[in-house]
Each structure stands twice: as C-alpha cells, then as structure tokens.
Amino acid sequence: MTVVDEIAGVPAAAVATPSSTAEVAAVVRGAAEEGLALVARGAGTRQDWALPPHRLDLILDMGGVRGLVEHAAGDLVAIVRAGTPLREVQEALRPAGQQLALDEPLPGATVGGTVAVNVSGPRRMLYGTVRDLLIGVTVVRADGVVARAGGKVVKNVAGYDLGKLVAGSYGTLGVITECAFRLHPLPAAARFVSARADGMDEAARALSAVLGAQVVPSALEVDMPPGGAPLTVTALVEGVPAGVERRATDLEKLLGGDAAQDEAPPAGWGAYPWAAGDVGIKLTCALSRVPYLLTAAGVTAQLHDVPLWVRGSAGTGVLYAGLPAGTDPGVVAGVVSDLRAATRAGAGHCVVLTAPPAVRARVDVWGHVDGLDLMRRVKEQFDPAGTLAPGRFVGGI
C-alpha cells in the first residue's frame, strides 16, 4: 500500500477532501460499499488522542466542510460546519456581540473535532460542556445516509439523542458535518484574579472560599507545577464592568495572600500541561474531592519520582496531568494505576488521552468503563460493519 497520510501512526492509502454534507455522504457511501475503514479528520490537533485505528484505508479530511451556515442572533443560535476552526466561529459571531462559549486549549481546533472528543475548557463551569451547548447535529452514518437531529426534531427515528451520542464518540458512530449551538452574549468586561498557595491546605481553603461565595465565577482553575512549586488558584469573572470590578475585589479578599487582578489570563490558562509527544492524562472527580485528588497526584509524583504537572478546573472536577515523553513506560503504568485508585476514591475516572506508542503498549488507556456492553450495542446499531474509526474508542469500539 502506498502511504498517503496517517492517523496516530497508522498509514492510509487515500485522502478524500469533501466540501459539503452531500459530498461527505457520497464518500462514506462509497467506502461502505467497498468495505473501507475510514477516519474523519479536522485540523488534526487531537489525532494522537485515544487509540490508533485497528485498520485504516481512507482519511476523510473535513477541512473543506467549513463556514457559518446560519446565525440566528435573535435566538442566540448558530449552525456551523464541522471543519470550521473555533476561532473562525468566534470571529464571525463577534460583530453581533455573541460567542460560542467553548475554549480552545489547542489552537486551530475545529468544531467537529471538539464535539467528537467532547472537550470543554475552563469556562465550562459557567456555560456548560459541549453536550450542553450542542442543540442540533447533522451526521453522516456509516452507510452514507444523512441523519439530522435538533431544533424541533430532538431525536432520530431510532429513538437516540443523536447529539449526545456523537459528542465524545471519537468519530466511531458517524461523521459530524454540521453542529447547531446555543450562543451567549459577549461579556462587556472580564477579570482574572490569581493567588499562590504554598500547600494543599491553603489551596483547599481558597477553593472552598470561592465556591461558597456569591461571586459566580465563569471559571475556577488550579495549576500545580511539578517539583513542589507553589500552586496557583485563578478565578475568572465576566459581566458588566461595575459588577466585574466588585466581584474581582471580593475575590481578592477571598483568595487572600498575594491575590492580584489582571485583564489577561495567567500563563498556561486553559492549556494542557503537556507538549506534543508527552503523556497526557485526564482526571475527573466529585467537586468536593478536588483537593484530595490534587494531594494524591502530588504523592504519586513523589512516590514514582516523576515531574507530574496537574492543571485544570477546580470548579468542575476536571483536571489534566502531564508527564514528559521520555518517562519509562513501566513508571507511567505505575503512575496511572495510582491515579486511577485516587479518581475512583473521588467518584471519578482516569483516562490516558495521549502517549507515545511504548506507553500505549503497556497501559490500558481507557481503564474500566461502566456500560461498555451497552456502548458496544450502540456501535453495532450505527456501524455494524465497524468501518468508522475502528478501534479508536473504549473497548476497541
């Protein structure tokens, strides 16, 4: 096979570049007739996430399926093609004083890719997740048939909530071509208030104070660098200028110490604590267990003598951890095992999002997932031949 391109190290013989839903449907239908396995790709910012496909014949490059289809400003709704970069969406909505309240941890990320992996940034605390903002979707099924859900039709004929199913399915249930989103007004003012914490007790006190107050932050982030450096707690408040000023002042008092305001975010705001090629881990827990999980991560780093960097939303219980690419796979396996024990104790999960091949060969990246049998049955309904991103998702789905 002549290698034309690849996904997560797996070569493909061909790349299709459709520019519309109809063209995507034609490509997928042709692939189904030939029994070809395909993976849809947006900007490729997260193609190293999850597992490599078990087989791959065709890459469906969605870069040409882009643009704003409709913007109903009065209804705070926009319909966007899947290959559109998030940044372009924001630029198109800005003249109307509106926004799609999704952050962009990886520059260049597209709408379809963001929905496919169901990733949300710091502001999910106020505005909700991708699933909360997604109110409609157009998907090309594995047989090339176009399915739409949303608006007045909230479910497809099979009875599934299509939007919630495809969000986070890593392209294994269908190819997303258009998304309808709930929008929000652009805030007139925003302020970041940050403070350092010398230990977990101090950080826990600061987090508890902010969560228990009436300041209504859009985001509450914690940044725990490796090596015992001080933690940083940062809250974002948005709204009208007078209200933002008042709430930011209240936050300074709540955080105490060296708390300071800034109109610009601190370094690393909303970014993952790893670079390309590193080990990237997602940690979740109950909101009340965030201090416990941070403490457990620190203990794990010391135990295995690794520079584990943890950063994420203390306001929603979604954290991310990074390890350098050269970390021994056996050591990574031990770190992941300990972190999984900590997340289970905190009513959450631990997933290895990205890692070098040697680590993937040693570590179960998904870990135990409840409802796997049901997920397999859904996959069989949507893609009985297993041609859409085969093996990328949990359990080899």
Tens-binned pLDDT, residue by residue, of the chain (397 aa): 455 699 999 999 999 999 999 999 999 999 999 999 999 999 999 999 989 999 999 999 999 999 999 999 999 999 999 999 999 999 999 999 999 999 998 999 999 999 999 999 999 999 999 999 999 999 999 999 999 998 533 344 444 589 999 999 999 999 999 999 999 999 999 999 999 998 889 999 999 999 999 999 999 999 999 988 899 999 999 999 999 999 999 999 999 878 899 999 999 999 999 999 999 999 999 999 999 999 999 999 999 999 999 999 999 999 999 999 999 999 999 999 999 999 999 999 999 999 999 999 999 999 998 899 999 999 999 999 999 999 999 999 9
Distance (Å, rounded) from C-alpha 250 to C-alpha 266?
A: 19
Domain boundaries, the chain: 1-185, 189-262, 279-362
Residue carrying structure tokens 């060296």:
258
Q: Which residues contact 27 (CB under 8 A, 6 or more apart)?
A: 16, 18, 38, 58, 60
Judged by DSSP in three states, 12 sits in strand
Q: Which CATH class is domain 189-262?
A: alpha beta
The whole-number pLDDT of residue 152 equals: 37
Residue 333: C-alpha distances to residues 67, 75, 152, 278, 337 (Å): 42, 49, 47, 14, 6
Distance (Å, rounded) from C-alpha 40 to C-alpha 59?
A: 6
Angle between helices 200-212 and 241-255 in degrees, nearest 10: 140
173: which DSSP letter?
A: S
The whole-number pLDDT of residue 155 equals: 40
Distinct helix (H) and strand (E) counts, the chain: 12, 20
Distance (Å, rounded) from C-alpha 235 to C-alpha 193?
A: 5
153: which DSSP letter?
A: B
The whole-number pLDDT of residue 380 equals: 96
The whole-number pLDDT of residue 228 equals: 82
Q: Name the pTM for this structure.
A: 0.94
**279-362 classified as CATH 3.30.70.1130:** yes
The whole-number pLDDT of residue 2 equals: 55
**Contact call for residues 379 and 308 (beta carbons, < 8 A):** no
Q: For residue 124, report the phi and psi dihedrals to the nearest 5 degrees.
A: -60, -25
Fold match between domain 189-262 and domain 279-362? yes
The whole-number pLDDT of residue 3 equals: 54
Residue among 141, 34, 79 nearest 381 (CA)? 141
Hey, CA dihedral for 346, 335, 371, 137, is it positive or negative? positive
The CATH code for residues 1-185 is: 3.30.465.10
**Contact call for residues 317 and 286 (beta carbons, < 8 A):** yes
Judged by DSSP in three states, 245 sits in helix
Residue 38: C-alpha distances to residues 10, 160, 339, 354 (Å): 11, 23, 33, 20
Here the tokens at position 347 are 């009513």
**Contact call for residues 210 and 224 (beta carbons, < 8 A):** no
- Number of other residues whose CB lies within 10 A of the CB of residue 254: 22
